[in-house]
């Protein structure tokens, strides 16, 4: 796809939205980022108005309701935003001839596989968030002949609280930390993902792709690495089973993503984590 174009980012104040904004700014792209308060994607009329005034040729749709437990408690709202909002964006792209990049998630999988999920694996979500994001994928497929659906996983980055910032704040007040050892995924730095998305869509065919940092880890391994790379090795971490916590929403136990279809060679998650900590808090990485 030719990259000289007018780009629209939905959810631009979110964690990935901010990383995309930074990446497009760096590349000198012509883009507009719309936050939730600029555009509520569930408002179909407003979505169409925005498209006819901005006339984007490419939309990176990063807006979503990402609160996994919140989605479980309020499924109607989850589907309204993640499915209905995505349908509105897809239809507006169809009517205006814009290309769409929809960001989806590893949580479309049930987690029963023992090795990284590829794009050929069948989704089977086990929570409302995953189901609503998969329903969003379906709306994209139904509305458009050509699209990018990009699934990623376990994001951390600037802009809001995430697992990394949570572990760092728990470490200030709690010891030992009890962290789940039987949830495994691919921790991914939003800056690497944003760079990967922009680079990938520039010269690849539309389709379904997984983009994430390389390697995978359990939450326990990730927490240990966060503490080690930020100079808090003294904080004790005890591995526990997810069943020891009362979860509102079930999470897939294994949702690492295989990324060989994109072949971007993004850094290993440990390097990505060190980069993030260096930028985020002057960590000792």
170-209: contacts with ligand NAP (CB under 6 A): none
Judged by CB under 6 A, the stretch of 33-41, 171-179, 198-206, 223-231 that binds ligand NAP is: 33-41
CB of 149 to ligand NAP, least distance (A): 11
Does 129 participate in catalysis according to the annotation?
A: yes
Q: Per the structure block, which two tokens stand in for 173?
A: 């007040």
Binds ligand NAP by CB under 6 A, chosen from 89, 101, 103, 235: 103
Is the distance from CB of 31 to CB of 24 less than 8 angstroms? yes
State which residue, 212 or 235, has the beta carbon closest to ligand NAP: 212
- Residues 249-261 as b/e (b if ≥16 CB within 10 A, e otherwise) read bebbbbbbbbbee
Is the distance from CB of 150 to CB of 103 less than 8 angstroms? yes
Please pick, among 117, 129, 148, 229, the residue that the annotation labels catalytic. Answer: 129
Judged by CB under 6 A, the stretch of 51-59, 63-71, 198-206, 230-238 that binds ligand NAP is: 63-71
State which residue, 195 or 235, has the beta carbon closest to ligand NAP: 195
Dump the DSSP string for 44-106. Answer: HHHHHHHHHHH--SEEEE------HHHHHH-HHHHHIIIIIIHHHHHHHHHHHT-EEEEEEEG
Which residue's C-beta sits nearest to ligand NAP?
14
Judged by CB under 6 A, the stretch of 6-14, 114-122, 168-176, 274-282 that binds ligand NAP is: 6-14
| 174/168 Cα distance (integer angstroms) | 10
- Residues 22-45 as b/e (b if ≥16 CB within 10 A, e otherwise) read bbbeeeebebbbbebeebebbebe
146-175: contacts with ligand NAP (CB under 6 A): 152-155, 160
Q: Per the structure block, which two tokens stand in for 37?
A: 């308060």
Residue numbers of the site for ligand NAP (CB under 6 A)? 11, 13-17, 36, 39-42, 62-66, 81, 85, 103, 105-106, 133, 152-155, 160
Catalytic sites, residue numbers: 129
């Amino acid at each position: 796809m030719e990259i000289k174009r007018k780009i629209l980012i939905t959810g631009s104040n979110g964690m990935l939205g901010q990383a995309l904004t930074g990446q497009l700014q760096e590349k000198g792209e012509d883009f507009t980022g719309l936050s939730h308060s600029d555009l509520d994607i569930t408002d179909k009329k407003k979505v169409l108005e925005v498209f006819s005034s901005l006339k984007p040729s490419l939309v990176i749709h990063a807006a979503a309701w990402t609160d996994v437990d919140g989605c479980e408690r309020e499924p109607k709202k989850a589907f309204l935003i993640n499915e209905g909002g995505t349908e509105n964006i897809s239809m507006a792209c169809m009517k205006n001839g814009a290309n769409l990049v929809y960001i989806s998630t590893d949580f479309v999988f049930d987690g029963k596989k023992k090795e990284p999920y590829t794009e050929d694996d069948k989704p089977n979500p086990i929570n409302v968030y995953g189901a609503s994001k998969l329903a969003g994928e379906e709306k994209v497929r139904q509305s458009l002949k050509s699209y990018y659906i990009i699934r990623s996983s376990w994001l951390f980055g600037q802009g809001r609280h995430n697992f990394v910032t949570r572990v760092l704040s728990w470490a200030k007040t709690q010891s030992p930390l009890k962290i789940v050892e039987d949830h495994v995924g691919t921790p991914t730095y939003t800056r690497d993902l944003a760079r990967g998305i922009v680079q990938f869509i520039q010269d690849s065919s539309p389709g379904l792709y997984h983009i994430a940092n390389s390697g995978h880890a359990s939450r326990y391994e990730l927490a240990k690495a966060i503490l080690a790379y930020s100079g808090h090795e003294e904080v004790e971490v005890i591995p526990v089973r997810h069943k020891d916590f009362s979860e509102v929403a079930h999470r897939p136990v294994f949702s690492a993503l295989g990324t060989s279809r994109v072949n971007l060679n993004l850094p290993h998650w440990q390097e990505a984590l060190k980069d993030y900590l260096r930028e985020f808090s002057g960590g000792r990485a």
